[in-house]
A and B are shown apart, each in its own frame.
Chain A
Amino acid sequence: MKKRTSLAAITALTGAMLASNAMAATTLESVKEKGHVQCGVTSGLPGFSQPDEKGSWTGIDVDTCRAVAAAVFGSGQSAEFTPLTAKERFTALQSGEIDVLTRNTTWTLTRDTSLGLNFTGVNYYDGQGFLVNKKLGVDMASQLDGATVCIQAGTTTELNLADYFRTKGMKFNPIVFDTSEQTVQGFAAGRCDMLTSDRSQLAALRSKLNDPSSAKILPETISKEPLGPVVRQGDDQWFNVVKWALFVQINAEELGITQANVDDMKKSDNPSIQRLLGTTGDMGEKLGLSADFGYNIIKQVGNYGEMYNRNVGPGTPLDLERGINALWTEGGIMYAPPVR
């Protein structure tokens, strides 16, 4: 009797598992059905994604995902956030736990192919740098032979570091921590001579030290780190939605559309603005979204420049100049294909 029950249970379970795999809805459909976009973010990185004192998430990565939510639902608040470590992030996306990964993730060939993922664009152009203890008296990275380095596990930084030291013929000792929090602690405890990470993060991490003036950032940038949103392969519709949510923000900055003037801009005669805000044309329909998805993104989140300045730009704790993240018309490399 007992045997028969367990057999039946096994058969039923297996049957259910096989069946559940047969019917997979598109990501856009399933997102609409559950009523929010699930975004993977860091567990706390100032300027990129961290909860504020009221518990709501802020940061440039958070806003990038809110733009997707605004495009789909018309509200940037229809996004929910899953904090992930660097090690967990790809598995979370592959397994469908999250819909889009906006977790300052570097676009590389391997990740774009063999992980079964696609990068949709770049929301921040970064590069790797070094934070060193001032006591060492080091001014350049080339003086770091034999140094001990604190680093976060599962990042491209780990590989760049090994490459950099190898090509320079120098030695190093890596201490690999799970989270950036532990990495800073290790550095603060004097376990390492230096800490390496993306330059945008070094300033934020330095501000977490007891005495931030005891450390300094070296001038060298040793790698290219284009950071951007990631989606699963095999769902072109969702890929397009995430890709164009960001492109709309960049185009809006170029066209001078801001969160403040977007309602006035709706009356604009400029056909580019009309298409972007959905007053003419069927751009939204082509993406499987409402006609005014562009308007919603700008109204809810703002254009790219606003998003940048609010989270990481001058005056924020990170205080980062636009640099190469400026629009292509202003000497940077931020450039988006036209909405047409």
Chain B
Amino acid sequence: MTNSKMNVEHPRSRPWNDPKVRTLAFQTIAIAAVFWFGWALFQNTLNNMESRGISTGFGFLDQSAGFGIIMSLIPYDATMSYGRTFWVGLLNTLLVSAMGVVTATVLGFIIGVARLSSNWVVSKLALVYVETIRNIPLLLQIFFWYFAVLRSLPSPRMSVDMGGLVFLNNRGLYLPDPIAEPGFGWVTAAAVIAITATVVMQRWAKKRQLKTGQLFPSFRVGLAVVVGLPLLAYLATGGPVSWEIPALQGFNFGGGITIIPELAALWVALSLYTASFIAEIVRSGILSVSHGQTEAAGALGLRSGLTLRLVVIPQAMRVIIPPLTSQYLNLVKNSSLATAIGYPDLVAVFMGTTLNQTGQAVEVVAITMAVYLTISLVISFFMNIYNRAVALQER
């Protein structure tokens, strides 16, 4: 009632005096201006390139590339297209990033915990590691690992021979390549069953613990199942795997799986470098959990290992995850330093050779930037989901 009365007293306010309308109008104008700006940039670039006789468009992706790439996760040879070189480079980038993320996380957690160890030697060693590694530029570390490792390794003809199966020389690490033969499906099936069973068992053990308080050694049993069942299947089907063993052919080894030194050096450098940052993040996370929590756990009779695993780490995770995400993003972007030591990642292959041979800089750079953006956004997306899962539940 009062409201309608007030409206009557103030005859219709003008729309441009209405704050809602004004906000909306300003926002629309701002967005329109941004879009117009982007469009003008795009058109301007196109016009300028046309007037200078530089060819544009994405047609080059179908042309034959004509150059070789040392390492590819998918079949590739010089007769394939420039588009194919994009995928080769992208997969190599993803490979080294994924390997780096895993090792950096594991190493970072170990060092971060070691840094807080009550053992003086252990904590000081961790301190020295962190302060040394994170204060030396990554590019120098990559060079160090690349050239230090290369120079200390023998030439292919004098390889380090490990049981006639594994060979190490300055061209890389050569491992036997397992080749699946008929019947291998049983082993795969056994592995899938074992993993499913372990997950089910873990849930059951947790439920039982909540109900009765009894512990079940689910980790040890799970490990036994996951390793044992496929092994049994492997033996039962008569070992349906043959091994392709690397052998010296001419200058180099052929056959088997090769880990090239460029990949190894980049992987080691990225892992060590990022681990030093992750260690500090882990330390800050653990320190953020109040000491009272540890004391309470001790009072309940939990051993220190269990206290760390069940009480401290879960609470530390909510502090750790957001900065950890940016370290992962950094690692992926840092992997583009690969080009300095000749590891064929996306930047080296696609933004390097392909860009140069085709001369289509604008297109190639745009694609490459879009790819890094996409990779980073995907990582952020999943880390945010995980973050929500471990975040403090406010009730």
Contact = CB atoms under 8 A, between A and B. Distances in A.
B223 interface: no
Interface string B338-377: 0111101000100011011111110000000000000000
Contact of A3 (B30, B251, B340, B355): B30
For chain B, the bracket of interface size reads: 35 or more
Interface string B110-133: 000000000000000000000000
A87 B355 contact: yes
User: Quick one: which of A21, A155, A189 has the most chain B CB within 10 A?
Assistant: A189
B37 A10 contact: yes
Nearest to A111: B359
B54 A177 contact: no
Contacts of B29: 7
A335 B80 CA distance: 39
A230 to B, nearest CB: 12
A234 B52 contact: yes
Interface in A153-202: 153-155, 158-159, 161-163, 165-166, 172-178, 182, 185-186, 189-191, 193
Contacts of B140: none
Given A11-B33, A148-B252, A190-B151, 5 more contacts: A154-B356, A173-B68, A174-B68, A189-B151, A233-B53
B52 A161 contact: no
Given A3-B30, A18-B44, A190-B170, A115 B147 contact: no
A111 B339 CA distance: 23
B68 A172 contact: yes
A94 B49 CA distance: 9
Interface residues of A, number: 55
A161 B254 contact: no
Nearest to A3: B26
Contact of B66 (A3, A153, A162, A233): A162
A199 B84 CA distance: 31
27 contacts: A14-B37, A17-B41, A87-B352, A90-B356, A90-B359, A90-B361, A115-B54, A115-B359, A116-B54, A135-B155, A146-B254, A148-B70, A148-B251, A153-B353, A159-B357, A165-B68, A166-B78, A173-B68, A173-B252, A174-B69, A175-B262, A186-B342, A191-B171, A233-B52, A234-B51, A234-B52, A234-B53
A154 B252 contact: no
A87 B66 contact: no
A-B complex: 8 closest residue pairs judged by Cβ atoms? A154-B356, A116-B54, A115-B359, A114-B55, A162-B78, A116-B53, A233-B53, A189-B150
Contacts of A158: 67-68, 353, 357
Contacts of A7: 29-30, 33
